[in-house]
């Protein structure tokens, strides 16, 4: 049985704000006068997540804060066998909050560059925009993306009760500007949210997407268009979108012939790692090493990584398997 921490991985769905080590959060909170409890509160569904997320946001204020969490993200991912990550960051919202639209993203990109030098984990950034927030901020998000080569994509996140339609012109403009588009859809909301994301929303990949299973015709469409799903089992369970890891729909997504990738979404908040997510698939669902390697390859193929990176990680996955 191979060590899954050494399986070379691409990590496509992970929010930087939800990767912050608790010890780091306490130190940063302390320096900025924000009280942080000794231990994270146990997560109570989506409301609990919003509370945790808002605590993290209120702690992150300076260039050094953003730089540190980005750098530590690389170190933590290296320990998971991650070779390449596309990390989501809500840059425009942080910029508004700290009163400088460019500082948070600039600090994160610098921190990721330092992290790459130290740990070898290559990264690109996805700028997410909450569906609850104004369209103007989504345009500001696209503006940031266009000005930074390390930003490969933008997309909608947040409460799926809010429709994606108001943002359609932003994502059309993104595709015109060769900025990729990836939306959260089919997590809380049903098949309709997936349909909107992949048609007028212009999504090239789906964040979560598990509720595509609600509609067999949509399953066929997503499969035929080759759209990959960024599946995050432990997050789905913690936030109440799947009853348990054992009953998670991931095996059914595979049976339906969909392109599945494995991700953590909010690892620090729910105390998981990318290796643990692969391990659950081995222990709870009986996936073989060859099948787990296929999932790792899916993530490389669905990524926006440069061709040389993709080739290198594919070779490393083959070596792991043989």
Judged by the rule CB under 5 A, the positions of this chain that interact with Zn ion are 265
Q: Least distance (Å) from Zn ion to the CB of residue 305?
A: 19
Which tokens sit at 308? 């040389």
Cβ atoms 55, 36 nearer than 8 A: yes
Q: Least distance (Å) from Zn ion to the CB of residue 151?
A: 17
Residue (65 or 160) nearer to Zn ion, CB = 160
Please give the Cα distance from 150 to 125 (Å, whole number): 6
Residue (76 or 265) nearer to Zn ion, CB = 265
Q: Least distance (Å) from Zn ion to the CB of residue 76?
A: 17
Please, what's the b/e burial string for 69-98 (b: 16 or more CB within 10 A of its CB; e: otherwise)? bbbbbbebbbebbbbbbbbbbbbbbbbeeb
Give the gyration radius of the chain's Cα atoms: 18
Please give the Cα distance from 19 to 148 (Å, whole number): 22
Which tokens sit at 315? 């070779």
Q: Least distance (Å) from Zn ion to the CB of residue 58?
A: 20
Please give the Cα distance from 129 to 137 (Å, whole number): 8
Active-site residue identified among 160, 187, 230, 316: 187
Q: Least distance (Å) from Zn ion to the CB of residue 6?
A: 26
Q: Least distance (Å) from Zn ion to the CB of residue 263?
A: 8
By beta carbon distance, the residue nearest Zn ion is 265
Q: Is 187 a catalytic residue?
A: yes
- For residue 123, the Cα-to-chain-centroid distance in whole angstroms is 12
Question: Between the CA of residue 131 and those of 166, 209, 253, what are the distances in Å?
Answer: 9, 16, 26
Name the 3-class secondary structure at 200: coil
Question: Between the CA of residue 322 and those of 185, 199, 278, 319, what are the distances in Å?
Answer: 36, 40, 18, 5
The enclosing H or E element of 290 equals: helix 289-302
Q: What is the 3-state secondary structure (H, E, C) of 50-96?
A: HHHHHHHHHHCCCHHHHHHHHHHHHHHHHCCCEEEEEEEECHHHHHH
What are the catalytic residues? 187
């Amino acid at each position: 049985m191979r060590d899954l921490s050494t399986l070379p991985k691409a990590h496509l769905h992970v929010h930087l704000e939800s990767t912050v080590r608790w010890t780091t959060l306490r130190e940063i909170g302390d320096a900025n006068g924000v009280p942080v409890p000794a231990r994270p509160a146990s997560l109570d569904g989506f409301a609990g997540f919003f509370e945790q997320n808002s605590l993290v946001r209120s702690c992150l204020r300076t260039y050094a804060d953003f730089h540190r969490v980005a750098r530590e993200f690389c170190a933590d991912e290296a320990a998971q066998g991650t070779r390449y990550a596309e990390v989501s960051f809500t840059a425009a919202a942080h910029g508004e909050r700290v009163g400088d639209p460019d500082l948070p993203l600039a600090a994160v990109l610098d921190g990721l560059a330092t992290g790459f030098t130290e740990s070898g984990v290559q990264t690109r950034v996805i700028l997410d925009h909450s569906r609850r927030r104004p369209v103007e901020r989504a345009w500001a998000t696209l503006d940031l993306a266009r000005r930074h080569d390390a930003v490969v994509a933008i997309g909608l996140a947040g409460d799926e009760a809010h429709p994606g339609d108001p943002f359609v012109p932003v994502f059309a403009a993104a595709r015109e500007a060769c900025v990729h588009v990836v939306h959260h859809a089919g997590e809380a909301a049903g098949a309709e949210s997936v349909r909107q994301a992949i048609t007028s929303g212009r999504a090239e990949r789906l964040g979560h997407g598990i509720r595509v299973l609600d509609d067999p015709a949509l399953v066929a469409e997503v499969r035929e268009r080759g759209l990959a799903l960024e599946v995050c089992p432990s997050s789905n369970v913690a936030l109440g979108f799947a009853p348990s890891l054992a009953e998670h729909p991931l095996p059914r997504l595979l049976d339906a012939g969909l392109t599945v990738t494995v991700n953590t979404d909010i690892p620090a908040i729910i105390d998981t790692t990318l290796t643990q997510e692969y391990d659950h698939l081995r222990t709870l669902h009986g996936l073989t090493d060859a099948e787990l390697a296929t999932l790792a390859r899916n993530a490389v193929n669905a990524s926006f990584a440069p061709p040389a990176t993709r080739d290198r990680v594919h070779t490393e996955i083959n070596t792991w398997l043989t």
